[in-house]
């Protein structure tokens, strides 16, 4: 049983990357978030992560969680 009752029942793909690995596209996403949202870039990335979580997209959620952690450091 899923811990999140809203979560999709679709099978999830597993990410070949660990949380510590950096995707070259991550830098571009962070740069664009800073350009669009300024000091609120971390909040915008967090909203994207929440959206992915509620849609049941675990791979995307993990990516946005990794980006959020990088923005918060």
Closest CA to 4 of 61, 63, 54: 54
pLDDT digits 0-9 by tens, 18-64:
445 667 789 999 999 999 999 999 999 999 999 999 999 999 999 99
In this predicted structure, what is the pLDDT of residue 10?
52
What is the C-alpha separation between 41 and 35, in angstroms, rounded? Answer: 8
5: in domain: no
| Residue-range definition of the domain harbouring residue 53 | 24-72
In this predicted structure, what is the pLDDT of residue 36?
95
64: in domain: yes
14: in domain: no
The model's pTM: 0.67
18: in domain: no
In this predicted structure, what is the pLDDT of residue 73?
78
63: in domain: yes
Q: What is the domain count for the chain?
A: 1
In this predicted structure, what is the pLDDT of residue 22?
62
């Amino acid at each position: 049983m899923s811990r999140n009752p809203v979560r999709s029942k679709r099978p999830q793909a597993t990410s070949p990357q660990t949380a510590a690995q950096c995707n070259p596209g991550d830098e571009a996403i962070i740069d664009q978030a800073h350009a669009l949202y300024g000091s609120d870039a971390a909040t915008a990335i967090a909203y994207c992560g929440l959206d992915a979580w509620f849609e049941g997209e675990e791979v995307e959620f993990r990516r946005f969680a990794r980006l959020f952690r990088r923005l918060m450091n």
